[in-house]
A and B are shown apart, each in its own frame.
Chain A
């Protein structure tokens, strides 16, 4: 990365000051816990829609997706296309209006109403562990990338990001998060679009770009043949522009994992059950706005791989010798962007970084305040006191995130991988209890609790058995043939959880009809009824 000019720094500074000012202005309007956690249920669909997209795409994702596209091709775009759009559309018309009408603040809160407090607590604990760990990971990973671009130390980048995000999230809660996300979404897409357009112009146009990809693939296949290292991938003529890859291809994205793991389980689990995502639609000003937010987000999602993954393909043509895919985006920025535009892209990078951290910070605080403090300590807590607690918890989470990111700096890279796989551990079981709870009135609390716990333990067992040290010590072969089988963990964990919930539900006493009235999809509730 070349040195930034004063114009670049001015653009970055203008963005940061603008974001901070907006967050603090919104913060001055916050008076109660309902304002803080659900923006007073006054959010419009267009702000939520953009916020959904901004939250989903972090700075690590921009670099990681571009890198994966460079290494494995367009198949990584599945995560934004079939891994988002159908689930968002179904969620928009089926699940989100249901949650909005039920008037809950968190997904675990719904779980207690539908099942019992044990299910609520188990799910809340999993979410809080995931979010707290993820905050540290996002902060460190982003700081590591930022320090290269901004010329600051990693420590300084961690403090700077934590301070900026912390100030406006503590001050303005969900409303500040959503409205700053909206600006961040525009800057993020604009910055990435800039890299895409300049990259294609640099290659001579779209047709030349396609021809260059084919040529580069031929060069790589010939090279592999010459070295007598023809891989399964090469043998199956996998193209860098293919979305659907064979089940036995040497890639993290075989079609089996993408279809059964991503499209059918992880994606609906994420868009229907992820507190950080669902929370903003619960703050919508009407049921229609909650639906429209998801539909507009789905429309916008069609564009994301074009601006994030395709630059990775440009890098594949321009820098085929890169062995580390994560260098694809930084290399493109160095070679393509002139003074001033480089600052704009870095502002986009910061926007992506901040939009994910602020959302997880706000949602983690919502879960701690509502599912632990209010549920177990002060059931009669006033709305004003919940606002105070929410802000204190957010501040503590900022300190935790800083401390945890420094702790991670001293550990091996393996720790990152474990935490990044953390979501796959419980997303499958969480989706199983959510699905059965919403759609099947015979599902019981005991069955949901056992199904969830066993499902999580099962996915952790699969992960452990797939570690080289473990399967070597046991003298067995690895369970999965691909290098990062996290999509498969979620499939199997879902299957185990779902099966157990069905079997145990039939063996246990049904929940009383009056308890589940309005909580199962066949009996839709009116707003505030449950």
Chain B
């Protein structure tokens, strides 16, 4: 048993008992955190100069991509 084995076993014993609902919350929570971060981005970083239409705001499409992910990881 090398020190690497001992470290590995210690971490394994730590993560194996974590229930899968907690893990799902971690996955979904991470995606929600990124979603909120995108929502809070300043408008000038997500739109081109002289943008006039809502669909020119990348925030909309980034949030859509993340919302699909949140839905997927909540269900499957």
Residue positions of A touching B, CB distance < 8 A: 74, 81-82, 85-86, 89-90, 92-93, 97, 241-244, 246-248, 255-256, 259, 263, 286, 288, 291-292, 295-296, 298-299, 301-302, 462, 465, 476-477, 479-481
- Tell me the bound Cα distance from A82 to B69 in angstroms: 8
Choice from A241, A298, A462 contacting B65 with Cβ under 8 Å: A298
Contact A292 B58, beta carbon cutoff 8 Å: yes
Contact B15 A93, beta carbon cutoff 8 Å: no
Contact A259 B61, beta carbon cutoff 8 Å: no
20 pairs, A vs B, C-beta closer than 8 Å: A74-B76, A81-B69, A82-B30, A85-B66, A86-B66, A93-B46, A242-B76, A244-B24, A248-B12, A248-B16, A259-B26, A259-B27, A295-B61, A298-B62, A298-B65, A299-B64, A476-B5, A477-B5, A479-B5, A481-B12
Residues of chain A within 8 A (CB-CB) of B73 are 81-82, 243-244
Known: A85-B69, A86-B66. 11 other contacts (CB 8 A): A81-B69, A81-B73, A82-B69, A89-B38, A92-B62, A242-B76, A259-B30, A288-B58, A295-B62, A295-B65, A298-B62
Residue positions of B touching A, CB distance < 8 A: 1-2, 4-5, 8, 12, 15-16, 18, 20, 23-24, 26-27, 30-31, 34, 38, 41, 45-49, 58, 61-62, 64-66, 68-69, 72-73, 76
| With A74-B76, A247-B15, A255-B23 as contacts: A477 and B61 at CB distance below 8 Å | no
Choice from B38, B48, B66 contacting A286 with Cβ under 8 Å: B48
Choice from B18, B65, B68 contacting A247 with Cβ under 8 Å: B18
Smallest Cβ distance from B42 to chain A, in angstroms? 10
Choice from B15, B66, B68 contacting A256 with Cβ under 8 Å: B15
Smallest Cβ distance from A201 to chain B, in angstroms? 22
Residues of chain B within 8 A (CB-CB) of A465 are 4
Residues of chain A within 8 A (CB-CB) of B58 are 92-93, 288, 291-292, 295
Smallest Cβ distance from B33 to chain A, in angstroms? 9
Contact B65 A85, beta carbon cutoff 8 Å: yes
Smallest Cβ distance from A185 to chain B, in angstroms? 17
Closest residue of chain B to A477, judged by CB? B5
Q: Give the one of A248, A295, A298, A301 with max B CB within 10 A.
A: A295
The interface residues of chain A, by DSSP majority, are classed as: helix
Contact A247 B2, beta carbon cutoff 8 Å: no
| With A292-B58, A479-B4 as contacts: A247 and B12 at CB distance below 8 Å | yes
Smallest Cβ distance from B3 to chain A, in angstroms? 11
| With A81-B69, A86-B30 as contacts: A241 and B18 at CB distance below 8 Å | no
Choice from A86, A242, A248, A255 contacting B31 with Cβ under 8 Å: A86
Contact A302 B65, beta carbon cutoff 8 Å: yes
Choice from A74, A247, A288 contacting B48 with Cβ under 8 Å: A288
- Tell me the bound Cα distance from A292 to B16 in angstroms: 40
- Tell me the bound Cα distance from A479 to B73 in angstroms: 30
Residues of chain B within 8 A (CB-CB) of A479 are 4-5, 8
Residues of chain B within 8 A (CB-CB) of A286 are 48
Residues of chain A within 8 A (CB-CB) of B49 are 288
> A-B pairs with the 3 shortest C-beta distances?
A288-B48, A298-B65, A243-B76
Closest residue of chain A to B4, judged by CB? A479
